[in-house]
Structure formats: structure tokens, C-alpha cells
Amino acid sequence: MRICLAGEGAQGISHADVLQDIEGVEIDTLAGGIAADAEAFAYERGIPHWSLDLEECLSRDEVEAVILTTPNQVHCAQTELALNMGKHVLVEIPMGISLAESQRIAALEERTGLVCMVCHTQRYNSAFREVYRQVQEGELTLHHIVQQTYFFRRRNENRFGKKRTWVDALLWHQACHMVDMCYWLLDDPDMEGWGQAGPLHAELGVPMDISIGMRTKDGKLVTSANSFNNYGPIYSEYRFIGEEATLLAQKGKLTDHEGQEIELPAGGGMDAQDREFFASIKAGRQPLTSCRACLPTMEILDRIQRSINV
């Protein structure tokens, strides 16, 4: 299958690394944002065509799908463009930067019948899949999920230290991972959600610290802390406090309350996610993280945003 990869930044590199190991998938064209960077990326990866015009790339013969690793602010418009051109879409989170954008994408996915999948990568992570299995099979009855995500992002740079052309969002991008994970595990699309935000950064214009709370109709709690102000490397962990055990997920490992590491299956993560995209296209089915399936995540994010705005 010939595809278009849109975006030559950090996530574009990550997807390109994964795609080279997926048999039958070829990056035919790169839709870039900065000419010099796109040209260098295409040359280094042996991609035969590149352009700054996404529509031109999608119009190439035999291109069937696109992976969008572009700035958050254009995800919705680019997804709509691709679907309307008859292309399957894998879009990095968030699918939109508002509930209204997300609803438009989900409706267009349903109307076209194409695969439109969002990169909620944590659902494909081996540690989280094990927690999900235990919850589904009644081995773990959750009471409280406590989560932390820390960055140092006072400068507008990506994870390689390269200057960004857009500003990241702590709630609608980074915390979107956590909200989706908790929705997937707790299975309550109507759960309450609220939050508080610290002051806006003087130059970036976004809050650098947020706290989030969620509550299901049967009383299960989520407590989350997120910061762009934290000194040190990117760090995230989940503590799953249950009736039968407490599990800690961090650095790709899952341990219990006695410190015993739980054996996990190999693989998972972005590789499993991208393979799910192509498998869904081949089978003509809805993927695990289709935009329609993940729309409740965006509804919860909207409730949290509205509580912050009060």
C-alpha cells in the first residue's frame, strides 16, 4: 500500500521508523511544512516525492492513505481534506482542538465509510493492555487512577530541541492521552470532568500547569497532574488503585504493590497501533481507536475545558 506521510517533525520520524518494518507499506510521498526539512527527510528516507502541498501529495496515483503528524491546529482540516479525497486517515492526537472539530471528523468518518483512526497510542501499550485485561476479566476492581505527566517545555521546541512552528496544548494534546486511557478503562462516556489551570505563559500563551479530576457514575475517581514547568526529562506514570491490588505503570513496565514486575507480552506501542491501522483497512473494519470510538474522550475533554473556563 502506498501512503502519504504528512509532517517531518518528531512524530513523523517515529512513524517512518515503524513503517519500514511493516511489510507491504511504502511511503510514496511526504507532505512537509518546511521546505528544507522536508527535502532532507525525503532524501534520507528514500521517499520519491515531497511537497508542501498536502492535496498535491494525496492526489498522487495509488496513494490510498495518509498519516498526519502535523500541528494540532490543522488536524481537523487535513483529516477532512483526506477523507473527502477518498483516503484513509491515521491522525495524531488530538483529532481536533475542540469538541466541534472532533464531532465533524467523526461524522465524516461515518459518512465516507473510510478508516479514520486517531493515535491514542496508550491503548496499544502492553502495560495498559494488561491492566485493561484485568479490569475486563474481573481481576482488578478499580477505585482510583492517579496519573502524572511532566515536561519541561518553557521553550517552543520539540523533543529534539528543534524550534516548533506551533504551540502545544497541555490539556487537548498531552492530557488527551490520560483522558482516553481512563475512559477506555472505566467505560463511562458520561463521567464528570473538571480541572484547574495555572497562569498562561507570557510568550506561549498557554497554561503550563493543570490539575484534572474525573468521577464515574459509580464513584470511581481519577486524579491527574500535568506540567510543562517540570525540570528534567519527559516523565509519566499511572497508579491503578484497586480492591485486589495496586498497579504502577511507568517506563514501559507494570509492577504490583509489592514491587513485583508483571510479565507483559512483547511488542505493543506505536508498532501495534500502526499495524492496527493497516489491518483495519485490509479487513474493512472499524479500528480500536477510530475517531468515532474515541469521540467520548473529546466530550470529556470539553467538559474539563469548560470547567477551567468558569
pLDDT of residue 243 exceeding 90: yes
- Give residue 85's pLDDT: 98
- Give residue 256's pLDDT: 97
Sequence-separated (6 or more) residues with CB below 8 Å from residue 153 = 168, 208, 228
Whole-structure pTM over 0.85, yes or no? yes
User: Are 58 and 49 contacting, i.e. CB atoms less than 8 angstroms apart?
Assistant: no
Report CA Rg, the chain: 19
- Give residue 155's pLDDT: 85
Q: Write the pLDDT tens digit of every residue in 208-229.
A: 999 999 999 999 999 999 999 9
- Give residue 55's pLDDT: 98
The whole-angstrom separation of Cα 11 and Cα 68 is: 9
Cβ–Cβ contacts within 10 Å for residue 86, how many? 10
User: Are 47 and 30 contacting, i.e. CB atoms less than 8 angstroms apart?
Assistant: yes
- Give residue 267's pLDDT: 87
The more confidently predicted of residues 169 and 227 is 227
- Give residue 194's pLDDT: 98
Compute the mean pLDDT over every residue in the chain, rounded to the nearest whole number: 96
Confidence category of residue 141, pLDDT binned at 50, 70, 90: very high
SS3 2: strand
**What's the average model confidence in pLDDT over 82-103?**
98
Q: Write the pLDDT tens digit of every residue in 264-273.
A: 988 899 999 9
**What's the average model confidence in pLDDT over 285-300?**
98
DSSP summary character for residue 260: P
pLDDT of residue 186 exceeding 80: yes
pLDDT of residue 165 exceeding 90: no
User: Are 66 and 90 contacting, i.e. CB atoms less than 8 angstroms apart?
Assistant: yes
Confidence category of residue 40, pLDDT binned at 50, 70, 90: very high
Q: What percent of the chain has pLDDT over 90?
A: 92
**What's the average model confidence in pLDDT over 106-119?**
98
Q: Determine if residue 232 is left, alpha or beta; phi over 0 gives left, psi from -120 to 50 gives alpha, anything else beta.
A: left
The whole-angstrom separation of Cα 254 and Cα 252 is: 7
Sequence-separated (6 or more) residues with CB below 8 Å from residue 76 = 95, 96, 97, 101, 102, 104, 105
The whole-angstrom separation of Cα 64 and Cα 22 is: 16
Q: Write the pLDDT tens digit of every residue in 232-242.
A: 999 999 999 99
